Amino acid sequence: MHWLGSFNLLYTATGFFVGLLVGQTGMGGGSLVTPILVLAFGVAPATAVGTDLLYASITKAVGTVVHGAHHTVRWAIVARLAAGSVPSTIFTLLVISHFNLNSRVASGVITTILGVMLLITAVALLFRRRLLSLGGNWLELMPESQTNKMTTVVGAVLGILVTISSVGAGAIGVTVLLLLYPRLPMARIIGSDIAHAVPLTLVAGLGHLMLGSVNVPMLVSLLSGSIPGIVVGSLLAVRVPDAVLRPVMAATLAVVGGTLVF
């Protein structure tokens, strides 16, 4: 239990801040933790990604229980996504296991991919309605069998990107699901996306743990702040309007992503 001596209150405060935001809005978890760890705390990119993945699997599991109790998870969609994401995650882990993830080159690649994913997430947040209006017409006419196949392909792509950067399962996943299932209520889209993130981030996180790129004391410190933060955020009566939050989040992610890329 020597890791208890490494408990860090700064990580706890960070976890509480992120948890508060997630509890109020359902947004901001994966796309904030990794860049904060890299930019603010100087954590190695691979360690930040690996730790964030296990952190996400635990927090998303809590969210899945809540959504499952409210029957806002479409388990068939979760299964299709996982059918693509879990194999692609394992494949990606096997590929990156042949590299030194803490080397300067690997850190640079992970940082760049992380930055690009944050920029894509910012676009997905800011222009979601426009993207839906552009792609919704022809996707809505797609046969159900084709939609099911596309869902599995989307899962496979998310598996690769999330395993490398820990970002993408949230805003990007929700946007794509809205395109593929335009008639599905928003609550079920979000619930299904959160539920799918559990096996995806758990498999990826355990893989990174086996590769030695997870900091357990950091993980515990983050969780000790984020779980109370999520509870407090969920109970707050005053919530930030989506019309205000979405541009602010998008701008923040764009700036952070640009910093990492350039």
Q: How is 200-257 classified by DSSP, letter by letter? A: HHHHHHHHHHHTT---HHHHHHHHHHHHHHHHHHHH-S----HHHHHHHHHHHHHHHH
Domain-embedded: residue 3: no
Quote the crossing angle between the two packed helices 144-165 and 45-69, to the nearest 10°: 140
- Which H or E run includes 70? none
pLDDT of residue 212: 94
How confident is the model over 1-32, as pLDDT tens digits? Answer: 344 445 688 999 999 988 877 766 666 666 78
pLDDT of residue 242: 67
Domain-embedded: residue 52: yes
What is the pLDDT averaged over residues 58-83?
Answer: 89
How confident is the model over 112-170, as pLDDT tens digits? Answer: 999 999 999 888 888 877 777 776 566 667 788 899 999 999 999 999 999 999 988 88
Domain-embedded: residue 26: yes
Domain-embedded: residue 47: yes
Q: What is the mean pLDDT of the chain?
A: 86
Domain-embedded: residue 143: yes
Task: Return the residue matching tokens 């890329």.
Answer: 261
Closest CA to 121 of 251, 261, 259: 251
Cα separation, 26 vs 20, whole angstroms: 9
Domain-embedded: residue 145: yes
pLDDT of residue 32: 85
Cα separation, 156 vs 85, whole angstroms: 4
Domain-embedded: residue 172: yes
Q: Coil, strand or helix: which one is 198?
A: helix
pLDDT of residue 128: 78
Domain-embedded: residue 23: yes
Cα separation, 91 vs 118, whole angstroms: 23
Total number of domains constituting the chain: 1
Q: Which residues form the domain of 64?
A: 8-261
pLDDT of residue 136: 57
Q: Could you tell me the sign of the dihedral formed by the alpha carbons of 76, 77, 81, 84, in that order?
A: positive
pLDDT of residue 260: 87
pLDDT of residue 238: 55
pLDDT category of residue 256 using cuts at 50, 70 and 90: confident
